[in-house]
């Protein structure tokens, strides 16, 4: 059975993403910013924003030593 984590949005209902996606993004988040489980539990800002998910998943496609640089690159370009 697929599990889900909440993500942020601009509408009144809380959207969710499969944990298989959010945990990959969270792996990069932890490497760049340190652990904060509330980011995936939803009790911190309602989870990741869509732009953040894109940035972290983009960074994950590169070698780990480039993750911080790639997250910053993606967030800068998206003006998030």
pTM: 0.79
Question: What distance in Å separates the CA atoms of residue 66 and residue 44, rounded to the nearest whole number?
Answer: 26
**Tokens read off for 39:** 């980011």
Provide φ and ψ at 31, rounded to 5°: -65, -40
Q: Would you say residue 38 lies in a domain?
A: yes
CA-CA distance, 68 to 47, in Å (whole number)? 20
Per-residue pLDDT at 13 exceeds 80: no
Give the closest residue to 19 by CA, choosing from 34, 35, 7, 31.
7
Could you tell me if residue 28 is inside a domain?
Answer: yes
- 41 falls within a domain: yes
- Number of structural domains, the chain? 1
Please indicate, yes or no, if residue 79 is contained in any of the structural domains.
no
**pLDDT tens readout for residues 41-60:** 878 787 888 889 999 999 99
What was the pLDDT predicted at 46? 78
The verdict on residue 48 lying in a domain is yes
Average pLDDT estimate for 9-33 = 86
């Amino acid at each position: 059975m697929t599990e889900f984590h909440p993500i942020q949005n601009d509408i009144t209902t809380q959207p969710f993403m499969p944990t298989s996606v959010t945990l990959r993004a969270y792996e990069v988040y932890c490497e760049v910013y340190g652990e904060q489980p509330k980011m995936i539990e939803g009790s911190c800002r309602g989870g990741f924003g869509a732009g953040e998910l894109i940035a972290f998943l983009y960074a994950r496609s590169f070698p780990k030593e480039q993750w911080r640089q790639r997250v910053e690159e993606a967030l800068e370009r998206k003006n998030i």
